[in-house]
């Protein structure tokens, strides 16, 4: 099942509950499913930040909070809103999705 998207103005705890009820059984552990839900919610909120400095700071916090945690079963839905994964790239010794702006 695809990871649900946060609804507009949905509180974090409400989203996490809804997300876990939909995808909780699809992951190896409950902790991994929770991490996926939290990361999806935070990535959605980061995508709505307009100020470049705030966006960079939010991305640094996101990367720090989720470092070393496998968040997806694959690379689908692994980029910020408005970006898509086109292949992969090496970053700090890890294979990560190559997120590029969606061309219109």
Q: Return the residue matching tokens 């699809």.
A: 26
- pLDDT at residue 13, rounded to an integer: 95
Cβ atoms < 10 Å from Cβ of 31: 10
DSSP-based three-state secondary structure for 96: strand
> Which segments in the chain show pLDDT lower than 70?
1, 68-77, 87, 95, 104
Distance CA 47, CA 42 (A): 9
- pLDDT at residue 94, rounded to an integer: 72
The alpha carbon dihedral of 68, 72, 78, 84 has a sign of positive
Distance CA 72, CA 36 (A): 7
- pLDDT at residue 2, rounded to an integer: 81
């Amino acid at each position: 099942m695809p990871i649900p998207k946060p609804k507009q103005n949905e509180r974090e705890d409400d989203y996490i509950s809804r997300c876990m009820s939909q995808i909780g059984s699809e992951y190896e552990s409950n902790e991994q499913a929770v991490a996926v839900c939290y990361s999806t919610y935070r990535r959605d909120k980061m995508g709505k930040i307009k100020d470049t400095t705030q966006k960079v700071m939010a991305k640094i916090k996101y990367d720090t909070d989720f470092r070393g945690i496998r968040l997806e079963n694959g690379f689908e839905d692994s980029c910020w809103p408005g970006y898509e994964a086109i292949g992969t790239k090496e970053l700090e010794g890890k294979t990560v999705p190559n997120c590029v702006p969606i061309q219109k």
